[in-house]
């Protein structure tokens, strides 16, 4: 059985806390590895290592830092298939889905290769008599990322690639449920030429998280996970004066207008609602057809599609989706389906009884579909994070617009329509951070920024894109004047540019 430790000082080291957690293979239900859970002392060792290495890395010119990132991209592409299979076997998502996970992370690493341009400051000559003003962006020092199980390649790269390119050292605390790929990514960064200590990986649970939050040398923290933990981390980080960006849960709506291409909308709902077994913060979990005719047409097409979903092992290339990450995750989703039935929603397709032949101990769950869900139900209010789609019928456009706008979560939303005016109005008015127009999962490309609103996001700056450079750097502004023989004498009022 594999034993997974930590990655500190450029190499993997064994855990010393004496505590471990099981890493399961979701498609079989077997324990495939033991991962060490870091103590406060082990987290501190990683921070000290990072702190010692960071100044020299920060003084390395941006172009050379970019070359390390370019080489890293090449190495990940070289090992693409191996990384995807490891990811699939630890998480449960299919290998094609795992490749998408890796690719979306790589795109941010590619964006970070432009750091010589992205970190350029501003310059004004002659701002006053003989005075020039310029600004520069400088790294924060040691920063950290706490990342979730559902994207064990993408989100770590979203965090550490721009942070390291900016000249910081990085402490990564990935999910203990699927730590294999983050450890491999750290190895590849070293192979790419990153100095030892600039990227450290500490595996662990709440003890490691709290150690990162309380460490005085960690200057900024990025987090992705559930909303209660996002809020906890944001508040605790703020108490110690750390810069923080925290992204939480979601309840993403898809509005189906009467004029929508229904086949396109159904394809989008099936892929976005059930892909990766619904374990995505951008999964569509609520469909909102506008008008009874639209709703009836939608259900007529959705029911057979959900019933015919092909659920398979993580390594089955023909599977629509694979198992969930743990048995506890399966039981949690089943409990929400029970709640929906008790609340009076119509369970049009019930996936609770699904069993995978030959893999009866795996963490599988069939697709479920609810109709006649109302906004006072728990299955509407709360994030289920599984292969469950709820249909909430809206009488008109205004009611449909109000549903995602009034919901506690505000991560992503989509509208399906042929009407450009309706789409434009919706995009402008909906109270949600990311909007898709005939696009079910509106995750922006790497040079834009990703972030939700309301209880889906805490902090002023988002992930990747220009916001990532702003988050991982601080601006210094210099006002400069060289003596030219002119004597102004003492001035006791505040300086102005008269």
Active site residues: 281
**337-376 residues labelled b (16+ CB within 10 A) or e (exposed):** beebeeeebebbbebeeeebeebeebbbbbbbbbbbbeee
Distance of CA 221 to the CA centre of its chain: 14
Q: How far is residue 16's CA from residue 472's CA, in Å, rounded to a whole number? A: 31
**107-126 residues labelled b (16+ CB within 10 A) or e (exposed):** bbbbbbbebeebbeeeeeee
Q: Tokens for 86? A: 């490891």
CA atoms within 13 A on the CB side of 290: 21
Residues 6+ apart with CB under 8 A from 200: 6, 7, 8, 9, 46, 47, 49, 50, 169, 170, 171, 172, 186
Q: How far is residue 168's CA from residue 138's CA, in Å, rounded to a whole number? A: 9
Q: Are 245 and 471 in contact (CB under 8 A)?
A: yes
Name the residue among 162, 149, 243 with its Cα closest to residue 199. 162
Strand partners for 31: 24
**269-305 residues labelled b (16+ CB within 10 A) or e (exposed):** bbbbbbbbbbbbbbbbbbbbbbbeebbebbbebbeeb
């Amino acid at each position: 059985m594999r034993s997974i430790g930590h990655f500190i000082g450029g190499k993997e080291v064994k855990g010393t806390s004496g505590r471990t957690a099981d890493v399961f293979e979701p498609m079989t239900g077997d324990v495939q590895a033991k991962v060490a859970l870091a103590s406060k002392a082990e987290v501190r060792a990683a921070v000290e290592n990072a702190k010692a290495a960071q100044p020299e890395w920060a003084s390395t010119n941006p172009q050379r830092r970019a070359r390390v990132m370019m080489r890293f991209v090449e190495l990940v592409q070289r090992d693409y298939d191996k990384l995807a299979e490891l990811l699939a076997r630890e998480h449960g998502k299919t290998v094609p889905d795992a490749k998408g996970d890796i690719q979306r992370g790589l795109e941010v690493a590619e964006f970070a290769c432009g750091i010589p341009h992205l970190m350029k400051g501003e310059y004004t000559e002659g701002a006053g008599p003989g005075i020039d003003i310029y600004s520069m962006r400088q790294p924060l020092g040691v920063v950290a990322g706490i990342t979730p199980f559902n994207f064990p390649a993408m989100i770590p790269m979203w965090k550490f690639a721009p942070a390291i390119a900016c000249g910081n050292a990085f402490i990564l605390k990935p999910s203990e449920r699927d730590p294999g790929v983050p450890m491999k990514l750290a190895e590849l960064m070293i192979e790419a030429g990153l100095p030892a200590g600039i990227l450290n990986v500490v595996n662990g649970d709440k003890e490691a998280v709290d150690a990162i939050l309380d460490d005085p040398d960690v200057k900024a923290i990025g987090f992705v996970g559930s909303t209660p933990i996002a809020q906890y981390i944001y508040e605790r980080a703020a108490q110690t004066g750390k810069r923080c960006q925290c992204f939480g849960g979601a309840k993403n709506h898809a509005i189906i207008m009467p004029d929508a291409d229904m086949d396109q909308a159904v394809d989008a709902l099936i892929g976005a609602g059930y892909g990766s077994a619904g374990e995505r913060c951008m999964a569509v979990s609520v469909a909102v057809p506008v008008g009874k005719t639209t709703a009836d047409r939608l259900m007529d097409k959705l029911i057979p599609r959900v019933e015919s979903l092909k659920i398979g092992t993580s390594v089955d290339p023909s599977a629509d989706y694979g198992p969930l990450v743990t048995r506890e995750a399966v039981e949690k989703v089943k409990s929400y389906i029970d709640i929906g039935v008790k609340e009076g929603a119509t369970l049009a397709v019930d996936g609770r009884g699904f069993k995978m032949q030959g893999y009866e101990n795996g963490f599988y769950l069939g697709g479920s579909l609810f109709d006649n869900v109302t906004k006072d139900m728990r299955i509407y209010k709360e994030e289920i994070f599984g292969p469950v789609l709820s249909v909430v019928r809206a009488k008109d456009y205004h009611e449909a617009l109000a549903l995602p706008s009034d919901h506690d979560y505000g991560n992503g939303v989509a509208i399906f329509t042929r009407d450009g005016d309706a789409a434009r109005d919706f995009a402008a008015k909906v109270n949600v951070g990311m909007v898709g127009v005939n696009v079910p999962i509106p995750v922006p490309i790497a040079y834009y920024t990703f972030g939700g609103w309301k209880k889906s996001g805490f902090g002023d700056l988002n992930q990747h894109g220009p916001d990532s450079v702003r988050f991982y750097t601080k601006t210094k502004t210099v006002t400069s004047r060289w003596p030219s023989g002119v004597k102004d004498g003492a001035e006791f009022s505040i300086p102005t540019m008269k």
